[in-house]
Structure 1
Amino acid sequence: MIVVPVSDVDRAKAFYADRLGFTVDHDTRVGDVVIVQLTPPGSGCSIVIGKGVGKMAPGSLSGLQLVVNDVRAARTQLLERGVAVGEVLFASHEGFRPAREDDDLNNTGFIFFDDPDGNGWAVQQITSRP
């Protein structure tokens, strides 16, 4: 489980559940403490957003990563759901460059987006593992 610091729990919950398609595992509110656990489809790792659950500043996380089988399809789905997501990039020893149609994106294809607070996410394509 990863705590993702947010400034507005309801806005973040809507983003992760409605825009990204994460499953809401639970939404617990006791007094001033709010704990919302969400899990990406097919993942064994969850995130927690809330109030009173961490000390990090909203938007301070960078480098959170999701893995998908098809990064181009994931980008299309995110765009259809209204998420501002960058172009598909190819990672090489020289850094990132825009992906070409003939690139093998297994382990090298990425897209990036931020949540409403600015927490940064990467989505990597992994279609096979050694």
Structure 2
Amino acid sequence: MDFTLEVVTLPVSDVDAAIAFYRDGVGFHLDHDVDAGFGRVVQLTPPGSGCSVVFGTMPAMQRMEPGSLHGLQLVVADAVAARDGLTARGVACDDITSFDERDGSTFFGFADPDGNTWAVQQIRARAENPLIPRS
């Protein structure tokens, strides 16, 4: 039986500010922004990803302290291009660090306005072999 991770709940303090950061700054696609009657639900997906982030005002989404999620990881084929794209859109990023020459050893990070942190890992093989086939 397959278990696929498709949604991660992200604790944020300001839903509209989080949408602006993830959609306009980071470049995630806004999939849903709905009022469910007893709370708002927002879902965004990184380009090329099978996993989305969700946040909002539903009681279950408010259980974690905003900014308390650390170590989420994105993978890109080119860390320099990814970092340049993020900084051009106003996202403050850490410097790129390479631990050695092997593919997968290059990283940089950034944080959202609440302090949730992300690592961005370069895996050059993703350019030729994405996990999710491009259509």
Q: State the TM-score, normalizing by the size of structure 1.
A: 0.86
* Runs (4+) off by over 4 Å: none
**C-alpha separation between the residues in 2 aligned to 1:89 and 1:70?**
13
Match of 2:47 in 1: 41
Q: Does 1:11 align with 2:8?
A: no
User: In structure 1, what is the equivalent of residue 68 of structure 2?
Assistant: 60
Letter in 1 for 2:17: R
What residue ranges of structure 2 are gaps of 5+ in the alignment? Answer: 1-6, 127-135
1:50 is matched by which residue type in structure 2?
A: G
Distance 2:88 2:102 in 1: 22
- For 1:60 and 1:8, the matched residues in 2 are separated by 14
Question: Distance between the aligned counterparts of 2:122 and 2:102, measured in 1?
Answer: 6
Larger strand share, 1 or 2: 1
| Percentage of matched positions with identical amino acids | 54
The aligned residue for residue 99 of structure 1 is none
**1:96 maps to what in 2?**
none
Count of paired positions: 118
Unaligned runs of 5+ in 1: 93-103
Whether 1:108 and 2:131 are equivalent positions in the alignment is no
Structure 1 partner of 2:84? 76
Q: Give SS of 2:98's match.
A: strand
Give yes or no for the alignment of 1:30 onto 2:27.
no
Higher percent of residues as helix: 2
